[in-house]
Structure 1
């Protein structure tokens, strides 16, 4: 499960850190409490059309784009009429109608500083936890993306196309298994190129590979208790990730 994100870096910092070639418009500002249906930054590798006529142009361009968190399948009639698909189980994503075409050709990485999860105490009390890496480097979460075309929007209307994304999850592993039975799929940096490459057709084998690597990354993850204020999405400040006793 992954339902609240923290992204403390600016879009410019993320673009530099991940060697982005093209920065999109209207990228989100840093946020300490991002919830589903809000905008997140996604990293997408796309084929470079210019390479067909320019041998010096790269075949693939890396883009940092703004996407709605909550995938909207291309066949959806209206994004407002269905629950946001903000998580997708990696074990079955390749066979689910809402995700299988994205697994094949529209894979993304979502940069984050961490995320919130709620630890259930023996008495049933839920305590908010901030999950993060043991270093200051941002995490990469494996995701999928889709473009949804608004059938009633004019060709020149900026709202004609909606970019949306979902975060893949897998069975909890390492320290995170004690926190929740599911965790986001942490993307191994060494697998980032293969995962994002639009020339590679994604399949069950690719999903299994990144899921296995995510289990190893989970061993180095840490978490600690934070204020219950994170439960209200209207609260959004750096104080939310401060440790509480």
Structure 2
């Protein structure tokens, strides 16, 4: 699962990474949450005149996918993630997987390790970023929802895959990461069917990400500054109380 992420790169860095022509001034965002607008990149019908850049366009979409056939978004569950294993089959995502695959730029994402409830141990938040630095592009899906009144809303979901061994101790799912050399193939929905890009939806290599423990500041959407990424020491696991030694008489000793 991916329920929070960050995008703190400059517009120039995003433009260079994704090879799009223009992005309006986009602020650094350290704690992007569901239902908020997110930056996505989709295939364009035609490229910019006189440019040899790929045919890509950047746009803002609501993080929370709404299928075109949904009657009332208020009654529809919030779909922020789509499982890669079933996205091509599920009614909610099938059309978008075939016709509207997108890239979602990110500086990293947050995940929580949640111990069993009966342990009394609080969940631990982690800031998970590329070990080499820079940006990543999550694989995503786009759908434009048209209301009965005629208004339109672009909506998006992040595709997830099974976690690699390095991340599995935190969570069993992680975002699909599309490598830069495969951006064009992923976005090409005209000639590349879902089965043709299935190989791109596998977990990244073990050493791609590093996981940094952070405080629970990230839990609150109102906390939007860089403090949410400040490393914290991991709490020591609680030790069970030691049983008192018994004397030969069977009475407990004070010494």
Provide TM-score, normalisation by structure 2.
Answer: 0.83
Distance 1:225 1:57, change over 3 A: closer
SS at match of 2:14: helix
- Which residue of 98, 102, 106 maps to 2:100? 106
Moved over 3 A (4+): 10-13, 56-60, 121-124
Number of the residue aligned with 2:238: none
Pick from 137, 161, 165: which aligns with 2:156?
Answer: 165
Q: 2:112–2:124: 8 Å Cα contact kept in structure 1?
A: yes
Return 5+ residue gaps in structure 1 as ranges: 154-159
Unaligned runs of at least 5 residues, structure 2: 234-255
1:211-222 equivalences under 5 Å are 211-212=201-202, 214-216=203-205, 218-222=206-210
Structure 2 contact 97–141 (Cα < 8 Å) conserved: yes
SS in 2 for 1:178: coil
> Which residue number in structure 2 is paired with residue 188 of structure 1?
179
Match of 1:224 in 2: 212
Contact 1:48 1:59 in 2 (8 A): no
Question: Can you list the C-alpha shifts for 1:89-131, whole angstroms capped at 9, x where unaligned?
Answer: 0000000111011111100010001111111347342011001
Distance 1:182 1:230 in 2: 19
Contact 1:43 1:109 in 2 (8 A): yes
Q: 1:5 corresponds to which residue? A: 5
Which structure: greater helix fraction?
A: 1
Decide whether aligned partners of structure 1 residues 46 and 198 sit closer, same or farther in structure 2, where only a CA change above 3 A counts: farther
Deviation at 1:179, TM superposition (A): 1.1
- Native 8 Å contact 1:113 1:132 kept in 2: yes
Residue by residue over 1:172-214, the C-alpha shift from the partner in whole angstroms, topping out at 9 and shown as x without a partner, is 113111110111111122211100124224223422x1123x3
Tell whether the 8 Å contact from 1:47 to 1:60 is kept in structure 2 after alignment.
no
Q: Deviations over 1:209-229 (max 9, x none)?
A: 1123x333x432110110111
Summarize the alignment of residues 1-245 of structure 1 with structure 2, pairs less than 5 Å apart: 1-23=1-23, 28-48=26-46, 61-121=55-115, 123=119, 124-153=121-150, 160-207=151-198, 209-212=199-202, 214-216=203-205, 218-245=206-233
